[in-house]
Amino acid sequence: MLDPARIFAPIRRETSIALAVSGGADSLALMLLFAEWAPAEGKPRAVVYTVDHRLRPEAAEEAAMVAREAERLGLEARILVWDAPKPATGRQAAAREARYRLMGEAMAQDGSTLLLTAHHRRDQAETVLMRLAHGSGVAGLAGMAPFAEVEAVALFRPLLDTDPDALAALVEHAGLVPARDPSNFDRAYERTRWRDILPDLGRLGLTDARLAQFAGRMARIEAQAQSAARQFIAAHCHVDFLGVAHIAREAFGAADAETAIRALAVAIAAASGQDLRALAPVEAMAARLRNEPGTALTLGGAVIAPRADAILVYREAGRMDAGSLLLTPGQSGRWDNRFTVTAPARAVTVTPAALLTRERFEDLLAQPLAVPVAALHAAPVVRAEDGAILAIGSHVFEAGLSIAGPMLTAWH
């Protein structure tokens, strides 16, 4: 039985939320359940968002249907329209990005802090299967989390443990006819192909319920692994003012394999300013660093240089495409996706420090530097219009100039 009190209990203290309703059976059920929910202390204000992507002729009427039903249920509704030119390829991904952007903008206007979506148990099963096929690690196999951030939008997925057949039955009982998006049945998309074979897997015991259970167990393991990695990083890793990540060599060798892999991944992401999408290369690199002294290697736009006391991870200068960043007085900008620079009361230019020698670095900083010259050349240098050097990395020489360098944050 679908119990709104249980489903929405995690958000009972929210004050203003939004519901993403496409008009399909799942999202219509979400809307019906929210309308039925009647907590004694009152429930959050809710706005229903439905997006007309302008990709199908019937989309406008589907959006209008959602708005009518929302209003009939006593809920506010807004139709959001993606009226930008459509790409020739990758339309589904572009539509998803546009959808979240439009809803995020609407949430900011309406004061909504959380977007509810209708992802259910079968969606979770499909996600786990796809990630397993792609070689995901523990984080990926944990599937979709109930609370998450997607495209800078805070999400709550209250139906992740719910059978979609129960949602469809609820919509049918309410006398509603859900919209049918043909793309959900198009085998050109990977998710559709997995959806089509789920019944066969279910007959072998690999049901969507079993896969969702597996995802929940992976989520518990992921939480423990993240906690261990955060503790290791806090104790044994840091990023210096040049953007070079340092990992204590002895501690890295003594750590369990999962913690070492995560610490290395975090260091590479921080030093390179790039997202690491593939786990296998990081696993191989961590094993190599732990088992062989080795020489400097590269991965993900970063150089990994083992030393006696530390593993240095720094930006691979040859992979940088950061040019000059021009900032007017007081303006902020991001350079090489690693350093955030806020100009002082005069204009500045941020460029790679590629032309400075080690001697010039040490003269400006009045201290010796123990990192490779290649790491120095990947750091930013900030100059005034007259060419005077105002900062190297996040080390500033002028009041009013602010620079924030890379940080070691959790990797998924």
How far apart CA 224 and CA 213 sit, in angstroms, is 17
Q: Is 400 annotated as belonging to a binding site?
A: no
How far apart CA 243 and CA 299 sit, in angstroms, is 16
Residue 76, SS3 per DSSP? strand
Place of tokens 């080690």: 358
Q: Which H or E element spans position 211?
A: helix 208-236
Q: Is 202 annotated as belonging to a binding site?
A: no
Half-sphere CA count of 279, side-chain side, radius 13 A: 17
Closest CA to 288 of 278, 277, 296: 296
User: Residue 131 corresponds to which amino acid?
Assistant: R
Contact (Cβ atoms closer than 8 angstroms) between residue 282 and residue 313: no
Q: Is 332 annotated as belonging to a binding site?
A: no
At 240, give phi and psi (nearest 5°). -85, 180
How far apart CA 39 and CA 83 sit, in angstroms, is 38
Place of tokens 């953007």: 243
CA-based torsion, 255, 259, 264, 266: positive or negative = negative
User: Residue 56 corresponds to which amino acid?
Assistant: R
DSSP-assigned states of every residue in 340-366: EEE--SS-EEEEE-TT--HHHHHHHHT
CA-based torsion, 160, 163, 168, 174: positive or negative = negative
Measured CA distances, 124 to 2, 57, 230, 248, 282 (Å): 18, 30, 27, 38, 26
Determine the pLDDT at residue 321.
Answer: 76
How far apart CA 83 and CA 60 sit, in angstroms, is 12
pLDDT values of the chain reduced to their tens digit, one per residue, 412 residues: 899 999 999 999 999 999 999 999 999 999 999 999 999 889 999 999 999 999 999 999 999 999 999 999 999 999 999 999 989 888 888 999 999 999 999 999 999 999 999 999 999 999 999 999 999 999 999 999 999 999 999 999 999 999 999 999 999 999 999 999 888 888 988 999 999 999 999 999 999 999 999 999 999 999 999 999 999 999 999 999 999 999 999 999 999 999 999 999 999 999 999 988 789 999 999 999 988 767 789 999 999 999 999 999 999 988 887 778 999 999 999 999 999 999 999 999 999 998 899 999 999 899 999 899 999 999 999 999 999 999 999 999 999 999 999 999 866 5
Determine the pLDDT at residue 296.
Answer: 85
Place of tokens 């998006």: 181
* CB-CB neighbours of 237 under 10 Å: 23
Closest CA to 191 of 243, 269, 271, 129: 129
Give Cβ neighbours of residue 41 (< 8 Å, ≥ 6 apart): 12
Contact (Cβ atoms closer than 8 angstroms) between residue 30 and residue 156: no
Contact (Cβ atoms closer than 8 angstroms) between residue 148 and residue 98: no
Determine the pLDDT at residue 412.
Answer: 55
Determine the pLDDT at residue 210.
Answer: 97
Determine the pLDDT at residue 198.
Answer: 96
Q: Is 23 annotated as belonging to a binding site?
A: yes
Reading the block at residue 92, the tokens are: 């589904």
Q: Is 175 annotated as belonging to a binding site?
A: no
Q: Which H or E element spans position 304?
A: strand 302-306
Which CATH number is 4-214 given? Answer: 3.40.50.620
Give Cβ neighbours of residue 366 (< 8 Å, ≥ 6 apart): none
Contact (Cβ atoms closer than 8 angstroms) between residue 314 and residue 244: yes
Residue 328 buriedness (CB in 10 A; 0-12 / 13-18 / 19+) = exposed
Q: Report the Cα 202 to chain-centroid distance in Å.
A: 31
Determine the pLDDT at residue 317.
Answer: 86
Whole-structure pTM value: 0.85
Give Cβ neighbours of residue 205 (< 8 Å, ≥ 6 apart): none
Please report, for the chain, the start and end positions of each structural domain, with discontinuous segments joined by +: 4-214, 225-318, 322-404
Q: Is 143 annotated as belonging to a binding site?
A: no
Radius of gyration from C-alpha coordinates of the chain? 26
Determine the pLDDT at residue 271.
Answer: 96
